[in-house]
Structure 1
């Protein structure tokens, strides 16, 4: 093996046999429980805002918070992904004791950057508000700027906890606690009738979330037993790491900064459509577009639950060059995503008019947007987690390129389609951008680890979802007609049948919580 053998302290029974599927699945179950509650709370939050306030007020809040989230993605400098990547590798190579030093090295620049961006957002709130239109926009943006550093700190702390395979903190703090507080505060705002405080109600919970996340991370790092021995390696990327488990700033930021730009572009795709519609079609159109795309955001809670659990495991598998485990986890994870998201997207697609009326009668025009978005998300779910695998190989430059191309497609599509088609045009641009970002990594990874979603687990997941949430609702609509009662009946029966099918076919779906 040469003078410097590669030492990887892994347990064969778990790490080699199935890619650690059970461990990822257990974490995914925790995340999914939190995601289910978080999705319901976020949907309730949007419904409360759209029903209690005018389209202009709702559109203003949605546009301002979209700017906030894009600025937060700028401020974090890619540190969340960098922390997951390097802490996971430290654990594989017996260097877990280096995590505290890594956190200190990473968070200094992140804190400074978040403060600078928050200050800039506060100072330039008026020019940005003039572009959005309504007079209250500047006050919204300034309130949001105050809490931007806390949002960035929350994201970094939660990423570090997930790197240690702790999924409970993310579920409790980010999926349940923060949206619960937002909903409660918005409820108080509704009772008081003071729409000017909506931004405070939305952003304020980031402060306690940051405190709780860092407190819990401190407990996790304190409990982690540092490894005494630091094995040598001839791996090129590992040579960039210093002794005693430390990662050099050059190694960390060469990974994280391209991921930061990619994350900004990705957030621009997810939230940029709201801002583009507000700029090109008015804040009322932005409110309709936001409401119609909430189903996509709700579905992303399920997707993110799987991604958060799988991310550190992908980093470990790739560090130990277990490509068979990577393929197994990719295909199993894709099937889990389909099981979680296709029921939602198919139901919303079939019953689009009924779903949009939940936000209020004036939002019925968003049914076309909802159909377009759901159709695109069905395809995106099947393509799986290729972009995450690409990032965990360390190829953040390619990930950045993919996200920039995706953003270009989204912005170009909005410029071409929104003036003439409004929100539906923005939906087409959004779907096109997402599919570009999902497709490119599978082609780029072909020489490293060949990934394709065509597999038995994915086929079983797709087939079951189509039966219970495609064929059954269409049959119910044909026999009973449309309307909310048909929607409730079809979804209720579909959920029961889907859960029974998933349990019956659990072996085919790689759903093994234990041996």
Structure 2
């Protein structure tokens, strides 16, 4: 078969020279969306906790956690599979195989989502009995109706990112969907009825899926119509195997990669969202609401993390396919330094002013201050360990990724069973930190025979030093002078942000890795 070849990004020196530049350009788009999306998601949680009782908020948070875990089951690993194989088709100059790949991935994923949706409807009553309130069954059934649209949205957006188009993820997923959720929740709060809260939260997935689908179609048509002046570079062709030279990805190839990643994604979702369900079961819906509020800072930080990861994921796949291990290491160090630059100010500020932050969610949530401190300390460590789990996945070793996520989930469950009954939200936060550290450390050890990755580099040290100075030492000084309180928090964040931005700008040359 004669294939349509697009200009390869893997020409001599191309991947090495353009990897960091592209992650920064794409990351800038994602970062703008991450800032807006994080603010909207935080506003959504604050609106729910302030407008409704802790029991109602805890019920919604528990039900949506079940929804997100089942969505991870239903997507069958299609999003990661699409990024991995589209990146390889592009780097080996074979974009003509992308339409067939999309059909291969999206059809089974959406069908699986429909089946899981039916199963969730059937099991809504037993799950509701476990959670407690009678309204839980109605919440779960409403959420189940939108599960296929959530799975389709995640998979389609992954395919657009594999083509290095980050704008649709920002506009549809980071801004559009949470903005619609916030508006609908505000309308329900004004009406005084909480019966349709689940519909307000899940409903925006339908228009998001439609918009993402049409946007992907435009991208694929544009890629097929693009001129193809060049071929794959000899260096890349020498490293390619027989499977890389095929125009189409076979079902066996795709699903042998995607299904282990799907199971790993389920375990990862269980770690991220299972804590809410575990607290609801072992400590009541009020505890679940407090734990959700305390971990919102972590979710805000994840928006910043995703801004870097979404851009880095296809680049890692391309660099590893081309055998550019030195560039992989450089990209890992640069990405980790930016994760520290972005996330450490957030987590340090929340850790230093935990009681003031928890008051944002309303009365009754101050008990979550200890949980917030624990979560922030764990996320500081997770940020500095970087993107080893992403690199491991993009090497194609989804079996190891699955093992790591299962071990992380087991650590979370064991720690949660031991800590949640006696310590509530703080115990669940400790279990979450244990699980995250397991998932971050194992890939760095497993990758040692392919490419040695570690966070001890000049870019990471510079980023860490700046964050500690402006968001660690400065708040301590301000509290010693002015005492704790919201004014000190505001002054510390504003002064720290200005100093941190200036330091990062002046030290930007030191944030670039040495290859």
Aligned partners of 2:75 and 2:113 also within 8 Å: yes
Q: What is the CA–CA distance in structure 1 between the aligned matches of 2:261 and 2:146, rounded to whole Å?
A: 23
TM-score w.r.t. length of structure 2:
0.95
Aligned partners of 1:8 and 1:320 also within 8 Å: no
Q: What is the CA–CA distance in structure 1 between the aligned matches of 2:264 and 2:303, rounded to whole Å?
A: 20
Name the counterpart of 1:254.
256
Name the counterpart of 1:156.
155
Q: How does 1:185-334 map to 2 (within 5 A)?
A: 185-225=184-224, 238-240=241-243, 243=246, 245-334=247-336
SS for the counterpart of 2:478 is helix
Aligned partners of 2:80 and 2:258 also within 8 Å: yes
Aligned partners of 2:239 and 2:322 also within 8 Å: no
- Are 1:10 and 2:13 matched, yes or no? no
Name the counterpart of 1:68.
67
* Aligned-residue offset at 1:314: 0.1
Give the total of aligned pairs.
503
Per-residue deviation, residues 489-509 of structure 1 (Å, max 9, x unmatched)? 110111111111111111111
Name the counterpart of 2:365.
363
Name the counterpart of 1:171.
170
Aligned partners of 1:242 and 1:248 also within 8 Å: no
Aligned partners of 1:37 and 1:176 also within 8 Å: yes
Aligned partners of 1:95 and 1:230 also within 8 Å: no
* Aligned-residue offset at 1:135: 1.1
Q: What is the CA–CA distance in structure 1 between the aligned matches of 2:86 and 2:396, rounded to whole Å?
A: 13
Name the counterpart of 2:405.
403
Q: What is the CA–CA distance in structure 2 between the aligned matches of 1:464 and 1:247, rounded to whole Å?
A: 46
Give structure 1 stretches of 5+ with no counterpart.
1-6
Q: What is the CA–CA distance in structure 1 between the aligned matches of 2:238 and 2:279, rounded to whole Å?
A: 48
Aligned partners of 2:45 and 2:293 also within 8 Å: yes
Per-residue deviation, residues 385-410 of structure 1 (Å, max 9, x unmatched)? 00000000000000000000000000
Name the counterpart of 2:3.
none
Q: What is the CA–CA distance in structure 2 between the aligned matches of 1:224 and 1:9, rounded to whole Å?
A: 14
C-alpha spacing 1:426/1:11, structure 2 compared with 1 (3 Å):
same
C-alpha spacing 1:330/1:408, structure 2 compared with 1 (3 Å):
same
C-alpha spacing 1:276/1:15, structure 2 compared with 1 (3 Å):
same
Per-residue deviation, residues 261-291 of structure 1 (Å, max 9, x unmatched)? 0000000000000000000010100000000
Aligned partners of 1:241 and 1:251 also within 8 Å: no
Q: What is the CA–CA distance in structure 2 between the aligned matches of 1:505 and 1:229, rounded to whole Å?
A: 38
Name the counterpart of 1:3.
none
Per-residue deviation, residues 99-118 of structure 1 (Å, max 9, x unmatched)? 11100111111111000000
C-alpha spacing 1:257/1:141, structure 2 compared with 1 (3 Å):
same
C-alpha spacing 1:438/1:326, structure 2 compared with 1 (3 Å):
same
Q: What is the CA–CA distance in structure 1 between the aligned matches of 2:93 and 2:509, rounded to whole Å?
A: 33
* Aligned-residue offset at 1:242: 7.3
* Aligned-residue offset at 1:224: 0.2
Per-residue deviation, residues 302-339 of structure 1 (Å, max 9, x unmatched)? 00110000000000000000000000000000000000
Between 229-238 and 400-409, the greater mean CA deviation after superposition: 229-238
Aligned partners of 2:8 and 2:230 also within 8 Å: no
* Aligned-residue offset at 1:510: 2.6
Q: What is the CA–CA distance in structure 2 between the aligned matches of 1:397 and 1:208, rounded to whole Å?
A: 34
SS for the counterpart of 2:323 is coil
Q: What is the CA–CA distance in structure 2 between the aligned matches of 1:462 and 1:489, rounded to whole Å?
A: 21
Q: What is the CA–CA distance in structure 2 between the aligned matches of 1:290 and 1:15, rounded to whole Å?
A: 41
- Are 1:428 and 2:430 matched, yes or no? yes
SS for the counterpart of 1:454 is coil
Q: What is the CA–CA distance in structure 2 between the aligned matches of 1:24 and 1:170, rounded to whole Å?
A: 15
* Aligned-residue offset at 1:14: 4.0
* Aligned-residue offset at 1:16: 2.1
Per-residue deviation, residues 435-481 of structure 1 (Å, max 9, x unmatched)? 00000000000000010111010000000000111111111111111
Give structure 2 stretches of 5+ with no counterpart.
1-6
Name the counterpart of 2:447.
445
Pairwise CA RMSD: 1.7
Q: What is the CA–CA distance in structure 2 between the aligned matches of 1:104 and 1:12, rounded to whole Å?
A: 33
- Are 1:469 and 2:465 matched, yes or no? no
SS for the counterpart of 1:195 is coil
